[in-house]
Chain A
Amino acid sequence: MTAGSPDPQVPSGLLPHRIVLNARQMPSYSYGPRSPIWWGTLGFCAVEGMGFVLAVGAYFYLVFVNGTWPLSAPAPDLFWSSLHTVLMLGSLYPNYLAKRNGEREDLRKVRRDLVIMSLIGVALLGLRTMELGTTHVKWDHNAYGSIVWLLLGLHTAHLLTDVVDTIVLAVLMFTRHGHGKRFSDVGDNAFYWYFVVASWLPIYVIIYWFPRWW
């Protein structure tokens, strides 16, 4: 066959350009849904949220199959997990401040907020460790233990990831890179933290309260 165009009207080679718009004055980054990375973060939240939904679905499937719940173990303790939940809810305000001060491009306050968020994150990981000691069941005990530890493990992985991410970003903001588009990254990091908190609340109710009601 030949490579020739079947239409003689179209010139061979590339079309000449006709400039109809100039992008010189357009901004070089922005915040929230105007920024591609915000959509990427939302995409990962959707994927991971789907993972949580399926794990929760599996939890209730096992409840339905077994009838009695929890299986041969008392319901997990409320003290550390509730403390953890309260601190998570409390972190929403400094997280909001970090996002807002990022949008205002106020470096001094962003540094302060990220240090606070890093410290809260480390404290939450500490509380989570205490919490894991009071589940009264191990993953290899029975299917109830397996699904409880799966939910806790999934959420802890998210918690750990965002805490590390927050610490790295906090360090970054103290270096010469702490300007410009990094402020937008602060907002996306805060957005992901909202997801970590929002995904914990139903899991907290399901793991710690549901067995007491069933």
Chain B
Amino acid sequence: MTRALTSHEFDAVPEVTRLATGERGGLPGVQSEADAPPSPDELRDDQVDGPELSARLAKTWGTEKGLIGALSTVDHKIIGRRYIITAIIFLFLGGLSAVAMRLQLAQPESKLISPDLYNQLFTMHGTTMMFLFGVPIGEAFAVYLVPLMVGARNIAFPRLNAFSYYVYLFGGIMIWVAFMLNIGPDTGWFSYVPLAGPEFSPGKRVDFWAQMITFTEVAGIAVAISVIVTVFKMRAPGMTLDRIPLFVWAELVNSFVIVFALPAVVTASAMLILDRLVGTHFFNPAEGGDALLYQHLFWFFGHPEVYIIFLPATGWVSAIVVTFARRQAFGYIALVLSLIATGFLSFGLWVHHMFTTGLPQLGASFFTASSMLIAIPNGIQIFCWIATLWDGRPVFRTPLLFVIGFFFIFVAGGLSGIMLASVPLDTQVHDTFFVVAHFHYVLIGGNVFPLLGAIYYWFPKFTGRMMSERLGKWHFWLAFIGFNVTFFPMHITGLMGMPRRVYTYLPEMGWGNLNLISTIGAVLFFASFVLFLYNIISSARRGPVAEPNPWNAGTLEWAAASPPLPQNFDRVPVVTNREPLWANRDSLPVVAGLSVENREQIVSTITHGRADLRESSPEPSIWPFLTAVATTITFVGSIFTPWAVVWGSIPLALALMGWFWPKTSTEDER
């Protein structure tokens, strides 16, 4: 911090009436059990302090040892850590499939990879990156960080959250096992009909793809709802809407986009699998169906998907920029409104993926205009971040370097995006490497670079150790150069007419040199990830021990220990400022009076963030895991017989009953 906050910049701790509602739980005139005074035998956190309080709470909120304990855990940090690691493993798998493709394309008429394997590789690459990495990584960070940043002790619906992780994991394993058994999908990550329909893709390949969609979307929706309710109802007292950290805003808007976009792809993939397995005719023109219906449904999801990948990254960028600029975000309100505007506008662009399908001209014009419109809120965000850095005293640590890299790459991708919004240009370069270059600039620039920054930034919180700064700088430059060497030439190869998704090309086309340069870049980019992996593993073992707040940041996750104890905070914080730790440098204002022996947490009101209830948070349970297993049996079985949905629903229903049935007479959760 270079400048101290003055008193007019934050409120002093407000009076109690502004922090708590003081309302009864029962309805007027009802003698409700909700208002019964707490048992005097139960130890509360206003009776005990210091290390004893920490230890007792850690026992209450902890996870049992052993396999059953590990599978029963409902700790958002443990589930979040698993989610992050799993998503990054899928990032590596998707990256390896890309490297294989680049090696094949390095020279014309290469015989390294067969056409059939190449089809599976580009499908697995896109599918993995979009569904197993892109959506889950943003949610994974939300699962870990949102409860900490809003001052909660656990995510809302922690069992649903655990269930979501296992469903995601099993869906991802299913599709990769299918690929290894040579039944990997081969119709591209969007699996257009009629190619993906029963006539042109017999066998089970596309069915595995369609069910993988079901798995990941069930998981994604479950997390989105947990995050929304956590942000709405679990915020620390005093965290009014305008004190919510920008990262949390980004994850909240992202969750809303997920809630309204993911049902579209589930509908599309369900119709596809029904056409393939039980003979429906949704996409069969001979019987009144229509192939473009699939494209509409898919892209109604598919375009918001781009923002599902990008919005969490804006949250990482905001957090990193504020911390390393050493000042509050410039244009907080503008940033929040831009996030919300981006969320809404993302639903009005889907047809620009379909410009070459013969649209009415008015439709094409409308979607061109809306595609250009969304550049405005995104531009506002970029300018606010630059202004924050401009006015601050930026400290160029590795996380900030990756954010700077993001600015360059993402803006370049945004510019080619504006070019593609125009129908004539889009028609020319549709399905060429120009488009491939464009969306890798947008997606890697807009998601992967901020992600790498975010990992360097929050690694001390996750592990209690710092990552190596020296290796981090090497990593950044290798990644930045490798990325641009790989993808910049693709703009030109695309303009020269090279189509995407071809397994090879003839030497006479003259694309050989540019492709070789791209492959060299890909090797450099790959090397940067090897370095990154080494940095993670060596730092997790031997890195310098991190204090709770090693970057001197302002948000609440840094008020917890590194790594946080199971209860996150020994007492729930009270928030008086957008950057609570910068406003309260000597002591943390807190709420007391919660149980030390039971999992109690504060439920607050949506807008004012007033403490309202002290509700119980669910205990660990094996049932979410068993429910996920039953779900997996049902989904995988349904690829082979539609009756699996019928008999599979019985164990599923039993597992759900086990999940919701209360275990003890005092347990209050549902």
Contacts and interface: CB of A to CB of B under 8 A. Distances in A.
Interface string B221-248: 1001110110011100100000000000
Tier of interface size on chain B: 35 or more
A10 interface: yes
Contacts of A35: 603, 613, 615
A86 interface: no
Contact of A24 (B34, B46, B279, B653): B46
B585 A10 contact: yes
Given A28-B613, A139-B274, A39 B670 contact: no
Contacts of A164: 653
Contact of A21 (B237, B270, B653): B237
B668 A28 contact: yes
A91 B22 CA distance: 36
Interface residues of A, number: 76
B444 interface: no
Contacts of A17: 49, 570-571, 587-590
B34 A180 contact: yes
A74 B282 CA distance: 19
A140 B44 CA distance: 63
Contacts of B37: 25
B296 A61 contact: yes
Interface string A15-52: 11111111111111111011111011001101110110
Nearest to B35: A27
B572 to A, nearest CB: 8
A129 interface: no
A103 B44 CA distance: 29
B443 interface: no
Contact of B44 (A24, A28, A141, A185): A24
Contact of A27 (B25, B160, B226, B550): B25
B233 A29 contact: no
B16 interface: yes
B288 A66 contact: yes
Interface of B: 1, 13, 16, 19-20, 23-27, 30-38, 44, 46, 49, 156-157, 160, 221, 224-226, 228-229, 232-234, 237, 259-260, 262-264, 266-267, 270-271, 274-275, 278-282, 284, 287-290, 293, 296-297, 300, 395, 397, 460, 466, 468-470, 544-550, 552, 559-561, 570-572, 574, 581, 584-594, 602-603, 605-606, 611-616, 653, 657, 660-662, 665, 668-670
16 contacts: A3-B550, A13-B547, A15-B581, A16-B588, A19-B591, A20-B19, A21-B591, A22-B593, A24-B46, A25-B37, A37-B670, A54-B300, A103-B27, A103-B30, A145-B280, A172-B661
Given A39-B233, A47-B262, A103-B27, 16 more contacts: A1-B544, A10-B581, A15-B559, A17-B587, A23-B572, A23-B611, A31-B25, A31-B27, A35-B603, A37-B670, A40-B160, A146-B271, A172-B662, A176-B665, A177-B661, A181-B669
